Amino acid sequence: MSRMPLIDPATATGKAAEQLSATQRTMGATKNFARAMANSPSTLKGYLGLSTALREGVLPAGIRERIALAMAELNGCRYCLSAHTQLAPALAKLTEEEIEAARRGTSADPKAAAVLRLAVEIAENRGRVGDDVLADARTAGLTDEEVVEVIANVVQNIFTNYLNEALDVDVDFPLVTPRDHAEV
């Protein structure tokens, strides 16, 4: 059970209602993570702004979904891992094999693999990236814009991972449990 109320869009008022309505328009649904986030309408507004901006960026959906899967696995976030495992085939045309590879921080696609190495290094080392990982990303064809967007996607996903785990948000997708995190 979630540790914080999940704000019901049907009864929300004020800024929470505005942001939940924006969530519905932007994402097509109002899932539990957004209902939890609506306890701080400013936070939900910030999340929606970053999420929208990154969807309009240069990284394709397949790369963004792979980053989301890698971060959810790395951070042990059941909610995000469940959501992105469910959404990745439809949003990004990822196969089951690519979803599993992304959870391990790799890909059969060389550029996606370089992105994931960079993303995992950023997350594991709190932003400190080795010259070799950045060089590998460049060799795989990542531009300056793509490198910056990888960082932004890592941060966005860490935020949702931490929010969902800290608040124990009820998972409203078929449950997928991270490999190295026993069910609590």
Residues 6+ apart with CB under 8 A from 149: 54, 57, 58, 59
Mean pLDDT in each 10-residue stretch from start to end of the chain (184 residues)? Answer: 94 97 94 98 98 97 98 98 97 97 97 97 96 95 98 98 98 94 47
pLDDT for the residue numbered 181: 57
Instruction: Give the fold, CATH level 3, of 61-166.
Output: AhpD-like (1.20.1290)
Please give the pLDDT value at position 182. Answer: 46
Predicted TM-score (pTM) of this structure: 0.95
CATH 1.20.1290.10 segments of the chain: 61-166
pLDDT value of residue 167: 98
C-alpha–C-alpha distance, residues 86 and 10, integer Å: 26
